Amino acid sequence: MIRLNRSLLALLGALALCHLAAAETPLSLPAQVGQQMFFDQRLSGSGKQSCASCHDPANHYAPANDLSVQLGGPKLDKLGTRAVPTLTYKDFTPAYSDLAENPDGISLPGPGGGFAWDGRASTLAEQASIPLLSPIEMANPSAQSVVAKLKKAPYAPLFLQAFGADVFKNPKAAFAKAMEALQAFQIEDPSFHPYSSKYDLYASNKIGGTLTDQEIRGFAAFQDPNRGNCAACHFSGAGIGGGVAQFTDYSFSAVGIPRNNAILRGHPQSFDLGLCGRDDHRGKPENAQYCGMFKTPTLRNVATRKAFFHNGQIKSLKEVVEFYATRDTEPERWYPKRNGKAQKFDDLPARYHANIDTQAPLDGRAPGSATPMSPQDVADIVAFLGTLTDGYVPPPAKLANR
């Protein structure tokens, strides 16, 4: 008699029921409004761009192309200044704090939390307003202009039903409600946090989602403080988010990503200073310690990306891991040379080089010395990171003769 593995069958059945229940849970009225807004190209200055244009739901709410930054503006010809991050797994992100608690329970409090690469927005609602009003993104001249478009949208009656018949009488309040709607959609719709990767199946029961030998080696190297040490920032334990790994500790660090002149248009004195360049940090001497720092993104679905880090300078996941392995031992691979010497950290003014993180594997070891990760470690970590992609479908259950 041929029988399916009972444990696997039970687990898959439970997962199916969970996803079915999530899919059948209706979105609230505000979330329904947010869903309509998210895909509405009329809410842009060009009339041809929506939230989904850059945050593609078919690519885990991240760009599907390999551009370092996306194009926007009234004519869709303006270069952005930073790579577009995924919108998945944002629901546990805390508001920014200079002294945020680290979920690993070991590291000292430091800059952490917030939305966008510099943590400038405290909530998803606040974050949503940034691209809508940016002249190089969705390019609306004002919040009032967004509200005027919403009043004419086919889902305006739904907006009134969600927020009250008089909501449009106060454009400022109506804009705030619209941002709340976008936030509600991202929080409530399970597609923004499905936890359906091969890793999730492995971590939840270790049945049916068993990792390959290479993936297991990669996970070990990922966590090993003497090799990848990736988990030091891309925390793979519990903490914020309960018992589910978010693969970020929401912290900020300066890792010295090579300059992307395509974004900076070749201006030698133009720098993106990250955290210390925020409006509430800019120009304050005590905040110089934050210059060059950017937020640690989640690594969930990272294998589907085609541009990495805040400036999109590195174009493959393998190169990302190789950068961590060889930034210090082979700097000429990543940075321009002057008089035969690699000019490390070329996208950060020299006066801020002391801010560069010295945590392994980026520990400043001498050029030509042994790398913290072998080529095999690099390949294994890349393989493990592939297990973090949502939508994993396990192979047919093994059949056993009885």
Q: What 3-state class would DSSP assign to 202?
A: helix
Q: What is the pLDDT of residue 270?
A: 87
Assign residue 284 a region: left if phi > 0, alpha if psi is -120 to 50, beta otherwise?
beta
Cβ(295)–Cβ(349) below 8 Å: no
Please give the Cα distance from 191 to 115 (Å, whole number).
19
Domain ranges in the chain with CATH number 1.10.760.10: 2-192, 198-388
- CATH architecture label of 2-192: Orthogonal Bundle (1.10)
Nearest residue to 198 via CA among 393, 395, 13, 398? 393
Q: What is the pLDDT of residue 195?
A: 95
Per-residue confidence of the chain (402 residues) as pLDDT tens digits?
223 333 333 333 344 434 444 556 899 999 999 999 999 999 999 999 999 999 999 999 999 999 999 999 999 999 999 999 999 999 999 999 999 988 877 788 999 999 999 999 999 999 999 999 999 999 999 999 999 999 999 999 999 999 999 999 999 999 999 999 999 999 999 999 999 999 999 888 766 668 999 999 999 999 999 999 999 999 877 555 556 899 999 999 999 999 998 887 656 678 999 999 999 999 898 999 999 999 999 999 999 999 999 999 999 999 999 999 999 999 999 999 999 999 999 999 999 999 999 999 999 999 999 999 999 999 999 999 999 999 999 887 643 444
Nearest residue to 74 via CA among 165, 18, 137? 137
User: Rounded to 10 degrees, what is the CA torsion of 98, 100, 104, 105?
Assistant: 110
User: What is the maximum alpha-carbon separation in the chain?
Assistant: 75
Q: What 3-state class would DSSP assign to 385?
A: helix
Tell me, yes or no, if the pTM score tops 0.85: yes
| Residue 221 amino acid letter | A
Q: Please state, as a whole number, how many other Cβ atoms lie within 10 Å of the Cβ of residue 297.
A: 22
Q: What 3-state class would DSSP assign to 355?
A: helix
DSSP single-letter state for residue 302: G
Q: Identify the burial level of 330 via C-beta atoms within 10 angstroms of its C-beta, where 0-12 means exposed, 13-18 middle and 19 or more buried.
A: middle
Q: Please state, as a whole number, how many other Cβ atoms lie within 10 Å of the Cβ of residue 198.
A: 23
Q: What 3-state class would DSSP assign to 70?
A: coil
The number of C-alpha atoms within 13 Å of 215 and in the hemisphere containing its C-beta is: 13
Say which residues have a Cβ less than 8 Å from residue 233's Cβ, sequence separation at least 6. 248, 249, 251, 253, 296, 359
- From 1.10.760.10, 3.40.50.12170, 1.10.8.350, 3.30.1320.10, which CATH number describes the 198-388 domain? 1.10.760.10
Nearest residue to 371 via CA among 380, 362, 379, 359? 362
Nearest residue to 76 via CA among 133, 145, 138? 138
